[in-house]
Amino acid sequence: MLAIERRNQIMEKLQEEKKVYVSSLSQFYQVSEETIRRDLEKLEKEGLVTKSYGGAVLKENNNIDLPFNVRKNRNVEAKIKIAKLLAMHICDGDSLMLDSSSTAVFVAKHIKDKKNITIITNSIEILIELSDVSDWHILSTGGALKESSLDLIGPNCSKTIQSYHVNKAIVSCKGIDIRKGLTDANEMQAEVKKAMFESAEKRILAIDSSKFDCISFTNVGEMSELSYIFTDKKPEDKYIQYFDNMGIECIYPD
């Protein structure tokens, strides 16, 4: 097993158990305790964990960009609800941009029955997920690989996105707040999301209910720029009122 795979699995354990121990991880992965300590030191330097006596605890912080393998296992039920709702609003022949969020991967899984779809994405996971679809036009943005999040970012990525125009851009983010708008943990990923919104006729935010009233590190856009918001349950009245005032359609399960 590669070290990055082991560290991602350690993060998955931390999401479930909140704390891990060097001795038990050493036995589980059949590596030395010193190897596990180095793994935990690296995760601590990345701001993901706090080392404690004999192990480490998860650091809860909305500004942290968690590895993709960790993110995809969080709030799965909510993401499936969002994906099913979105699938009903995607038509045969649509052209779409999908960001590298784990929510967008669930959307990709749930629209495979559509015909003649064009997808532009910076997500390695989505490219793999759709590799068995035969009648679609699937484009990678290119760009620099961000290893932990399995996505492509950087100026070349944004430049490619800006050269296309699509019906719908489907994007997620770390936080949505009436005062601060849409925010995310990583500046370069935020730039990709902005470029996707700018290249789309309809701007769709796909975000689970845990992200409301959250503010992360960098701005993605203003809520007033959105066409639709898809979420897993009805937001608070203050958001419903704001969406109505801004002409944003908020769609959630009945």
> Tens digit of pLDDT per residue, the chain (254 long)?
888 888 888 988 887 788 999 999 999 999 999 999 999 999 988 788 899 889 999 876 656 666 666 666 678 899 999 999 999 999 999 999 999 999 999 999 999 999 999 999 999 999 999 999 989 999 999 999 987 778 999 999 999 999 999 999 999 999 999 999 999 989 999 999 999 999 999 999 999 999 999 999 999 999 999 999 999 999 999 999 999 999 999 999 98
Domains of the chain: 3-60 (1.10.10.10), 70-251 (3.40.50.10470)
CA pair distance 214, 205, nearest whole angstrom: 15
Which pLDDT does position 107 carry in this prediction? Answer: 97
Beta strands in the chain (DSSP E): 19-21, 49-52, 55-58, 95-98, 118-121, 137-140, 144-146, 151-153, 166-171, 175-177, 181-184, 200-206, 218-221, 228-230, 249-251
Between CA 235 and CA 224 the distance in angstroms is 16
Question: What is the pLDDT, as a whole number, of residue 16?
Answer: 77
Q: What does the pLDDT read at residue 86?
A: 97
Q: What is the pLDDT at residue 67?
A: 65
- pLDDT of res. 121: 98
Q: Can you give the pLDDT at residue 254?
A: 85
Instruction: Please report the pLDDT score of residue 9 as a whole number.
Output: 87
pLDDT for 45 equals 86
